[in-house]
């Protein structure tokens, strides 16, 4: 499918959504949903206009088309033709109104969540990266440690929660520890494999030049393993987000994961969907930032 056909489909979806919103059955225009639809379309058009390649333009059109189609289906199935359970699937206009009202509280909770997430993730990165470089560099150490990673790596980090609570002095440290364990293994394993799989001929050529070990590590081994390290760091970030909700259940009374779990226990599905939308926005922003950082670190491949 060409970029022109995708853009046409996106425009048709936008027109269909506008038509449904501007002629509502209740006589009241859902302004919040209308605003979100216009913003999504404006962002898509701006992205297509500023993108430097056809792949990026097609991606912007595809994403906007999917979001508009979901909004249209959500609106029609809950408002125009209410075929879904009203408690489980509230109307999008009501959810968006509540999103605006709850945004200040969710932003406060986000600060607490980011403290846990960043602390655990940076601790994992600061320990797994040097250990992975060391183990991958030393062949004997690699063969000794590699079997242990296959045993310890797949263990779900949440099984350590009882010991984390019992051994660590505060619930916050226990929460950080759970995220740390979940993020540690993807970074460590990918770093080890990235270093170990560097072509031996490249290392031998570097040794012929009588490079010091520190120079060899920083100029040859680390850049050579960087693609694998970035893959592990991305996976670790995903696991950290997944574990954030579990970590916030350890003595926490705020946070984005806690927000969803708390209101789900009370069957308040409007706020559950609000929390899901908020987390989606936060994850999208963080993912965008990490992708830019990865491109910068791997710019030498282009």
Q: Where in the chain is the domain with CATH 1.10.3720.10?
A: 94-301
Q: pTM of the entire structure?
A: 0.83
Its CATH class, for the domain covering 94-301, is mainly alpha
How confident is residue 243, by pLDDT bands cut at 50, 70 and 90?
A: confident
Query: How far is 61 from 51, CA to CA, in rounded Å?
Result: 11
Burial degree of 15 (CB within 10 A; 0-12, 13-18, 19+):
exposed
CA–CA dist 207, 126 (Å, integer): 27
Could you give the residue ranges of the DSSP H alpha helices within the chain? 3-22, 31-50, 54-75, 92-137, 139-152, 161-167, 171-196, 200-208, 213-216, 222-248, 256-265, 269-297
Task: Tell me the per-residue pLDDT of 152-171, one tens digit each, with 9 for 90 and over.
Answer: 888 888 888 888 888 888 88
Q: With a cut of 70, say whether residue 180 has pLDDT above it.
A: yes
Residue with tokens 């969540």, as numbered in its chain: 113
Instruction: Please say whether the beta carbons of 145 and 192 come within 8 A.
Output: yes
Q: By C-alpha distance, which of 3, 132, 101 is closest to 58?
A: 3
In the predicted model, is pLDDT for residue 1 greater than 60?
no
d(Cα 252, Cα 217) in Å, to the nearest integer? 41
301 has a pLDDT exceeding 60: yes
At residue 2, the pLDDT reads: 63
pLDDT at 251 over 70: no
Mean pLDDT, residues 25-42 taken together: 84
d(CA 60, CA 48): 6
């Amino acid at each position: 499918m060409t970029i022109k056909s995708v853009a046409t489909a996106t425009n048709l979806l936008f027109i269909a959504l506008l038509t449904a919103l501007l002629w509502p059955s209740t006589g009241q225009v859902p302004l919040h949903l209308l605003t979100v639809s216009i913003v999504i379309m404006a962002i898509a058009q701006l992205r297509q206009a500023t993108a430097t390649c056809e792949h990026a333009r097609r991606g912007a059109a595809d994403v906007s088309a999917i979001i508009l189609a979901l909004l249209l289906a959500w609106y029609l199935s809950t408002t125009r033709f209410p075929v879904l359970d009203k408690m489980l699937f509230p109307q999008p206009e009501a959810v968006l109104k509540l999103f605006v009202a709850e945004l200040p509280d969710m932003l406060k909770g986000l600060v607490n969540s980011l403290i846990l997430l960043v602390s655990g993730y940076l601790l994992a990165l600061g320990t797994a990266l040097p250990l992975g470089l060391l183990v991958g560099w030393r062949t004997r150490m690699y063969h000794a440690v590699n079997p242990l990673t296959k045993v310890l790596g797949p263990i779900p980090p949440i099984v350590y929660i009882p010991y984390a609570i019992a051994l660590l002095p505060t619930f916050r440290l226990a929460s950080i520890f759970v995220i740390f364990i979940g993020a540690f293994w993807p970074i460590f394993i990918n770093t080890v494999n990235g270093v170990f799989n560097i072509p031996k001929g490249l290392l031998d050529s570097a040794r012929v030049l009588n490079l010091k070990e520190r120079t060899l590590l920083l100029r040859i081994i680390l850049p050579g393993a960087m693609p694998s390290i970035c893959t592990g760091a991305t996976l670790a970030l995903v696991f950290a987000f997944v574990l954030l909700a579990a970590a916030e259940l350890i003595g926490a009374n705020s946070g984005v994961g806690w927000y969803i779990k708390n209101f789900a226990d009370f069957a308040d599905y409007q706020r559950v969907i609000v929390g899901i939308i908020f987390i989606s926005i936060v994850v999208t922003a963080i993912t965008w930032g990490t992708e830019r950082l990865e491109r910068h670190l791997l710019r030498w491949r282009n």
